[in-house]
């Protein structure tokens, strides 16, 4: 069971000029600073069965989230459409599997991936990354005992998330979610 917490928290302001769209670097800086806020990280209620999340005020109108990951949970394969983003592990360790290729954005249901496109990153506490538009990945807490907590930011705010299933080299588009589906 997933729990959604409806609150808004505003960590320190972005390094971007007022009115400027935040860059990937700005988003990564934001998630680093936010993850360093021990009081905020400790305030996230953790559910033993499902992910929990709190919406944050991101820099420059970005969408940001503090997310708790119970042992053995993950996102499944997905992308963030036209948004750039960044995330950082604040507690525990996350694993990111990603594709080092750009997929066509529309007009397909099934793709066969070429060899060598898979990437894997281990992200212990304090480690994170930024990514560009249409980045396809899955994020996992592979621990069998410990929660992980992470901070995420996206700009522009997520217009949609495309969810995929994967069987070997075959990636299949399963559904498209809009903001009203998760907020």
The DSSP secondary structure of 19-48, one letter per residue, reads TPPPPHHHHHHHHHHHHT-HHHHHHS---S
- The residue extents of the domains of the chain are 3-182
Higher pLDDT, 15 or 41: 41
Residues contacting residue 160 through CB under 8 Å, at least 6 positions apart: 81, 176, 177, 178, 179
Half-sphere exposure of 133 (CA within 13 A, CB side): 8
Residue 18 confidence (pLDDT): 63
**Residue with the two structure tokens 């820099």:** 59
User: What gap in Å lies between CA 29 and CA 35, rounded to an integer?
Assistant: 10
Q: What digits encode the pLDDT tens for the residues 20-42?
A: 899 999 999 999 999 999 999 99
CATH fold label, 3-182:
Jelly Rolls (2.60.120)
**CB of 102 closer than 8 Å to CB of 81:** no
User: What gap in Å lies between CA 69 and CA 91, rounded to an integer?
Assistant: 10
Burial of 158 (0-12, 13-18, 19+ CB in 10 A): buried
| pLDDT at residue 178 greater than cutoff 70 | yes
Greatest Cα-to-Cα distance within the chain, rounded to the nearest angstrom: 45
For the chain, the average pLDDT equals 90
Cis check for the bond before 133: say yes or no (omega within 30 of 0): no
Residues contacting residue 43 through CB under 8 Å, at least 6 positions apart: none
Q: What digits encode the pLDDT tens for the residues 127-177?
A: 999 999 989 999 999 999 999 999 999 999 999 999 999 999 999 999 999
- Supply the pTM of this predicted model: 0.87
User: What gap in Å lies between CA 160 and CA 78, rounded to an integer?
Assistant: 10
């Amino acid at each position: 069971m997933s729990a959604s917490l409806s609150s808004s928290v505003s960590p320190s302001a972005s390094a971007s000029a007022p009115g400027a769209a935040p860059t990937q670097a700005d988003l990564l800086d934001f998630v680093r600073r936010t993850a360093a806020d021990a009081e905020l990280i400790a305030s996230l209620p953790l559910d033993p069965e499902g992910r929990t999340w709190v919406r944050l005020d991101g820099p420059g109108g970005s969408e940001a989230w503090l997310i708790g990951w119970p042992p053995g949970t993950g996102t499944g394969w997905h992308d963030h459409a036209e948004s750039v983003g960044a995330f950082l592990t604040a507690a525990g360790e996350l694993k990111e599997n990603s594709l080092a290729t750009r997929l066509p954005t529309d007009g397909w249901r099934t793709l066969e991936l070429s060899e060598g496109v898979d990437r894997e990153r281990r992200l212990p506490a304090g480690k994170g990354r930024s990514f560009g538009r249409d980045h396809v990945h899955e994020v996992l807490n592979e621990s069998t005992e410990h929660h992980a907590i992470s901070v995420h930011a996206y700009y522009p705010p997520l217009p949609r998330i495309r969810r995929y299933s994967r069987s070997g080299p075959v990636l299949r588009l399963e559904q498209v979610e809009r903001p009203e589906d998760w907020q």
